[in-house]
């Protein structure tokens, strides 16, 4: 991807729909919490609506991964994209647990239900966000009316978590005097190619921040080794649900996808996304938008 000090020049070759989307600025909101405030974005529905679509990002990512997507979903529903704790513009915390991430998502949804008289909630989570979505759908059955899990590595309930490989930075956060040098280090995890370099450049720009010590990644690097995951947890959501997996995702190697189907085919419809690897929102954004609208009934 092209990297200079000018983001808009670097992504000038992006398609028109992408520029239209990122120019529709959402309302930036903060939910106060004793353990750390939660940042999220809100796109108001273009028509009168009592529906809400909620978008949750993956590990080390942030809400702006969804900024090109959110404005394409709000014709018949309000849309929010959340920064999970320790990522994006949300506060760092002493400890990180998927259960706490779920609690944050739940609290944001409940706040917006009151603000906008919401009667229908559709929850979408990519990668780690899929674990969070499945957890919230299980623990808050009366709150979630439909959900979509996107290319999430679901382990069987009897999985030995001692075999789990930590995925994240190999070293502690470093600070850079040169913004461009840090941007050049941006990589997708797990590693994959992505033809939409303009999308990568956009999310890279919003993955860093400037501090008195220099430029750094926004995420809390302690999260990668300290995150308490949902090993041994069985999803039991009862709402209509779908599982979207990339045709070329790591999920399709080994038995990950097979195990997910064995465990949850009775609860989820499994949908293959042709031509996509793990990062479905980046590889096939328009196709994912269409799927979300179709599966949610908000087309």
Residue 296 is given by DSSP the state H
Q: Is residue 10 part of a domain?
A: no
Residue 6 lies in a domain: no
Cβ burial, residue 163 (10 Å; 0-12/13-18/19+):
exposed
H helices of the chain, in order, are 7-10, 16-22, 98-116, 128-139, 179-183, 197-205, 222-226, 256-264, 280-283, 285-296
Domain assignment present for residue 18? The answer is no
- Strands, E, within 6-84: which ranges? 27-31, 38-43, 51-56, 78-82
- In angstroms, the CA 184 to CA 186 distance is 6
Instruction: List per-residue pLDDT tens for the chain, 299 residues long.
Output: 999 989 999 999 999 999 999 999 999 999 999 999 999 999 999 999 999 999 999 999 999 999 999 999 999 999 999 999 999 999 999 999 999 999 999 999 999 999 999 999 999 999 999 999 999 999 999 999 999 999 999 876 666 555 555 555 545 789 999 999 999 999 999 999 999 999 999 999 999 999 999 999 999 998 888 888 887 889 999 999 999 999 999 988 778 899 899 999 999 999 999 999 999 999 999 999 999 999 999 99
- The confidence score (pLDDT) of residue 170 equals 47
Check residue 251 and give its pLDDT.
Answer: 87
Q: Is the peptide bond before 190 cis (omega within 30 degrees of 0)?
A: yes
pTM: 0.95
Q: Residue 169 and residue 85: Cα distance in Å, rounded?
A: 17
Asked if residue 288 belongs to a domain, the reply is: yes
Q: What is the DSSP string of 76-137?
A: SSEEEEE--TTSTTSPP-S--BHHHHHHHHHHHHHHHHHHHT--EEEEEEETHHHHHHHHHH
Residue 134 lies in a domain: yes
Full residue range of the structural domain in which residue 136 is found = 27-296
Q: Do the domain assignments include residue 2?
A: no
What is the reported pLDDT for 162?
Answer: 55
Question: Which CATH number goes with the domain that contains 186?
Answer: 3.40.50.1820
Please give the tally of structural domains in the chain.
1
Residue 4 within any structural domain of the chain: no
In angstroms, how far apart are the furthest CA atoms of the chain? Answer: 52
Question: Would you say residue 93 lies in a domain?
Answer: yes
Q: Do you know the residue count of the chain?
A: 299
């Amino acid at each position: 991807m092209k990297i200079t000090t000018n983001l808009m020049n670097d992504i000038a070759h992006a398609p028109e729909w992408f520029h239209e989307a990122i120019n529709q600025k959402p309302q930036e909101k903060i939910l106060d919490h004793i353990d750390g405030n939660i940042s999220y974005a809100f796109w108001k529905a273009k028509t009168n609506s009592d529906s809400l679509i909620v978008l949750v990002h993956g590990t080390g990512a942030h809400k702006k991964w969804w900024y090109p997507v959110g404005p394409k979903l709000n014709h018949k529903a309000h849309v929010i994209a959340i920064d999970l704790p320790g990522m994006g513009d949300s506060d760092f915390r002493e400890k990180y647990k998927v259960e706490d991430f779920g609690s944050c998502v739940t609290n944001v949804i409940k706040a917006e239900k009151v603000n906008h008289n919401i009667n229908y909630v559709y929850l979408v989570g990519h990668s780690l966000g899929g674990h969070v979505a499945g957890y919230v759908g299980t623990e808050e059955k009366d709150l979630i009316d439909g959900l979509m899990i996107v290319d999430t590595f679901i382990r069987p309930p009897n999985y030995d978590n001692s075999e789990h490989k930590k995925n994240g930075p190999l070293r502690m956060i470093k600070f850079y005097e040169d913004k461009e040098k840090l941007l050049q280090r941006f990589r997708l995890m797990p590693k994959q190619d992505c033809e939409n370099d303009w999308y990568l450049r956009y999310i890279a720009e919003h993955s860093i921040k400037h501090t008195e010590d220099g430029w750094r990644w926004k995420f809390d690097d302690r999260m990668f080794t300290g995150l308490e995951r949902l090993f041994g947890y069985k999803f039991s959501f009862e709402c209509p649900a779908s599982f979207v997996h990339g045709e070329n995702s790591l999920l399709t190697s080994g038995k990950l996808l097979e195990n997910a189907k064995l465990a949850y085919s009775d609860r989820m419809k499994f949908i293959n996304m042709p031509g996509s690897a793990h990062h479905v929102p980046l590889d096939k954004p328009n196709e994912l938008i269409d799927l979300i609208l179709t599966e949610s009934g908000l087309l």
